[in-house]
Amino acid sequence: MTPALRIVIAGGGSAGWMTACLIAHRWAHLGAQVTLVEAPDIATIGVGEGSTPSLKRFFEVLGIAERDWMPACNATYKASIRFRGWSPASGVAEYSHPFTTQLDLHTEDAFVNNCRNRRLGFDVPTLPDAFLLGGVLAAAGKAPLAPAHFPFRMEYGYHFDSARLGAFLREHAVRLGVTHLPRRIVRCEQAADGNLTALVTDRDERIAGDWFVDCSGFSAMLMRGALGVPFTSFKDNLFNDAAVVMPTPQHRGVPVETVSTALSCGWAWSIPLTTRFGNGYVYSRDHLSPEGAEAELRAHLGAPAENAEARHLTFSPGQLARHWDHNCLAVGLAQGFVEPLEATALHLVLNTVDLFTDHLERGGFTARHREDFNAVITGRVERVRDYIVAHYKLNTRDDSDYWRANRANEALSDPLLHILETWFRRGDLAAELAGMEGLSHFQSLSWHCLLAGYGAFPPLGRTQRDDVDFHRSRDIAAFLSGCAMNFPSHDEALGLPPLPAAQDQA
């Protein structure tokens, strides 16, 4: 167990407040004192509105019910991400990558078996939407909330207003005893051994600590600034480095999925909240100007975006060479950023804090623990990167140099090359991924969704499909749509009034 610690967190974005809540919750009884310092005049990034199921676990750990936090954050349920237009030449216009539920254990084998047969050249159904419950719920506009009599555990994520989530967590953290100091940090003090000893604010206050957490966003002022930790760029693998963001009004029948649509030099997200849609276009500045990106996003969104205000931001894909250095941990954008395609950033925040607190409880501040921790987190970020890189490498678009350059990209990691090679030589993908146990957030089923969703298969053979044992997707579709009848509509689950009759909408 840890000694009573003074922990100082620099930064009050989602990463800072999540870290504060988790540490205060976990270590309050050990006498840990948590202080969070945030500059009132440096805005949080204000985007990042989609989560994975790890946000569900985060609130469960804190003991906060959905009915308490979701309305406060204009949050909606997320069963899946829908990918549109990423692989038009393969004949697949769109596909769904759902969060896996316990029920999928009953249909997963059929999907994987069909994919195997399709890899062997048989023309059998392989669109993930037809085999997994999350995609079926999303298509039917149903919330992934199982009634008490439904005997399978559901997994799902959320969409939320990130500014409201930050405010909600701040209030909760303060209730847990976290001290909130709205001050700008102007410098850090260090001991002779390099350890940080205090943060100094613009009011010349000295905030001393035993342990520091850098949640200062892209500036990484403690890790890169004070401690000089190098940054490893992913620009060779991931070309996108900018986004333009604009909200549009919400309409009734709130979707249960994020939609990611490929555009000329990147992709656009559409994230439904109860009060608005969050939209953004993530693109590469080497291939498109900010003005060009804004015009393309407006055209993509159509009339609802006519008066929408646009906000532009830039980022550098990559990660710190060390996420834990001396007595400082980096969390959130300060530790790095891959890109938002699979909405994994907050997942990595929670992963980092969980693993770090585990390590500290087990072994304290030893160099061996630090090295183990850094190897695991670095590997996890790299495996998320690989999964995202595969979306670009496998694209079959031909409408710009951007997509052709992505397809031609040879800067692939060894693990990614092995995964793709295993798939195309018809090998055992699950076994290949099992070798990366613990490092890969994306398991075999997710890779099957991506590869089958892209129609990334060897050419069809001449043998008829009736020669193999395959699963007819319509049998499974009937089973899943029967299951889906147990679930409430999304609007109903969110407590929104029912849709007006058709003539009222005209």
Ligand X SMILES: Cc1cc2nc3c(=O)[nH]c(=O)nc-3n(C[C@H](O)[C@H](O)[C@H](O)COP(=O)(O)OP(=O)(O)OC[C@H]3O[C@@H](n4cnc5c(N)ncnc54)[C@H](O)[C@@H]3O)c2cc1C
22 is a contact residue toward ligand X (CB under 6 A): no
Task: Please say which residue, 107 or 260, places its beta carbon nearer to ligand X.
Answer: 260
Where does this chain touch ligand X (CB under 6 A) — which range of 33-41, 147-155, 167-175, 230-238? 33-41
Where does this chain touch ligand X (CB under 6 A) — which range of 12-20, 93-101, 104-112, 447-455? 12-20
* Active-site position among 78, 142, 235, 393: 78
144 is a contact residue toward ligand X (CB under 6 A): no
53 is a contact residue toward ligand X (CB under 6 A): no
- Compute CA 77 distance to the chain's CA centroid, rounded to the nearest angstrom: 14
Three-state SS letters, 24-92: HHHHHHHCCEEEEEECCCCCCCCCCCECCCHHHHHHHHHCCCHHHHCHHHCCEEECEEEEECCCHHHCC
Judged on CB neighbours under 10 Å (0-12, 13-18, 19+), 115 is: buried
Task: Please say which residue, 125 or 340, places its beta carbon nearer to ligand X.
Answer: 340
> Which of 24, 34, 81, 345: binder of ligand X (CB under 6 A)?
345
Q: With contact defined as beta carbons under 8 Å apart, do 479 and 121 qualify?
A: no
Q: Which residues of 421-440 are buried (b: 16+ CB within 10 A; e: fewer)?
A: ebbeeeeebeebbeebeebb
Q: With contact defined as beta carbons under 8 Å apart, do 215 and 15 qualify?
A: yes
Task: Please say which residue, 51 or 114, places its beta carbon nearer to ligand X.
Answer: 51
Side chain identity, residue 42: I
Least Cβ distance, residue 501 to ligand X (angstroms): 35
Site for ligand X in 227-266 (CB under 6 A): 243
Least Cβ distance, residue 27 to ligand X (angstroms): 20
Instruction: Count other C-beta atoms under 10 Å from residue 48's C-beta.
Output: 23
Judged on CB neighbours under 10 Å (0-12, 13-18, 19+), 120 is: middle
Q: Is residue 340 within a helix (H) or strand (E), and if so which, with residue range?
A: none
Q: Give every strand in the sheet of 196-201, ordered side by side.
A: 185-190, 196-201, 206-208
Where does this chain touch ligand X (CB under 6 A) — which range of 7-15, 24-32, 229-237, 397-405? 7-15
CA 15 to CA 125: how far, in whole Å?
41
Three-state SS letters, 13-24: CHHHHHHHHHHH
> Which of 21, 23, 32, 44: binder of ligand X (CB under 6 A)?
44
Task: Mark residues 173-212: x for contact with ligand X by CB under 6 A, - for none.
Answer: -----------xx---------------------------
315 is a contact residue toward ligand X (CB under 6 A): yes
> Which of 5, 9, 16, 320: binder of ligand X (CB under 6 A)?
16
Where does this chain touch ligand X (CB under 6 A) — which range of 318-326, 338-346, 426-434, 441-449? 338-346
Active site residue 78: yes
42 is a contact residue toward ligand X (CB under 6 A): yes
SS3 314: strand
> Which of 7, 8, 9, 12: binder of ligand X (CB under 6 A)?
12
Task: Please say which residue, 49 or 325, places its beta carbon nearer to ligand X.
Answer: 49
SS3 content of the chain, % helix, strand, coil (to 5): 40, 20, 40
> Which of 102, 113, 179, 219: binder of ligand X (CB under 6 A)?
219
Task: Please say which residue, 52 or 107, places its beta carbon nearer to ligand X.
Answer: 52
50 is a contact residue toward ligand X (CB under 6 A): yes
Task: Please say which residue, 385 or 471, places its beta carbon nearer to ligand X.
Answer: 385
15 is a contact residue toward ligand X (CB under 6 A): yes
Q: Is residue 418 within a helix (H) or strand (E), and if so which, with residue range?
A: helix 414-424
CA 323 to CA 329: how far, in whole Å?
6
Residues with active-site annotation: 78
Binding site for ligand X (CB under 6 A): 10-16, 37-39, 42, 44-45, 47-51, 162, 184-185, 215-217, 219, 221, 243, 280, 282, 313, 315, 332-334, 340, 343, 345-346
